[in-house]
Amino acid sequence: MKEIILDTPEKNKIYMNPQRQRLIRLMQISGEAMTPKQLSKELGISPSAATAHIKKLESLGVLRLDHTKKINGITAKYYALEDVNISLKTNEQQDDSVVNEQEVFLNYMMNENWQGFLEYKKGLWVGENKSRVGAENLSAVHQTEISEDVMSTVHSAQVTGDVISSVAFLSDEDAAELKKYIIDFLAAHADKQPNTKPWNTTLLAYPVDKK
């Protein structure tokens, strides 16, 4: 997987733009190549603005032209996300502004993902209550007419999102193996397939100073 290192103010500015982050996330969730017109409609911006954002991300290597298609005599351009790893590596030679921008971006990214998770959990809780009330009403009114299949569907268990926090004692080799496994697993499931849904994943892991 190609690595893009955000080590200059210019690269930071291109990638960390909030509107471009929305565009990237939209394309990730879609799992399909999209046109500037499609993106503009979803983002609530003009097609020309969407095209400008696409060109910036394309120059960084985040997006690529996937294919073109004739639609009513007009050639539509479909863009897709590149299979890349975005790195925020820092070093002593970097300007403080680069590090500060990256910290702001990380705070933004973590907050967006956390808020998204809270909204998901709230929706899940509301949905569970509706299902429970619906099942109770069905049982009360049509108790003799409801098949076991219907009731099992109402109460069927599903895999839900979660937050997992723990401490694991790892050697450097263990940590490298775990990181590689996670990256490889996510990369293997990055393309949209039948009977799948997009899952947002935010993984944070670091060695703890026991002092």
Residue 34: beta bridge partners? Answer: 79
Single-letter code of the amino acid located at 120: Y
- Looking at 71-80, 88-97, 146-155, 160-169, which range is the least confident one? 146-155
Q: Supply φ then ψ for residue 91, to 5 degrees.
A: -150, 170
Under CATH, which number does the domain 1-109 receive? Answer: 1.10.10.10
Q: Residue 94, Cα to own-chain centre: how many angstroms? A: 28
What would the pLDDT profile of 133-189 be if each residue is shown by its tens digit?
555 554 544 444 444 444 444 445 578 899 889 999 999 999 999 999 998 999 899
Q: Is the Cβ–Cβ distance between 26 and 43 less than 8 Å?
A: yes
Q: Is the Cβ–Cβ distance between 12 and 89 less than 8 Å?
A: no
| CB-side neighbour CA atoms (13 Å) of 89 | 8
Is the per-residue pLDDT at 32 higher than 80? Answer: yes
Q: Is the Cβ–Cβ distance between 4 and 84 less than 8 Å?
A: yes
Task: Give me the residue spans of the domains in the chain.
Answer: 1-109
pTM listed for this prediction = 0.74
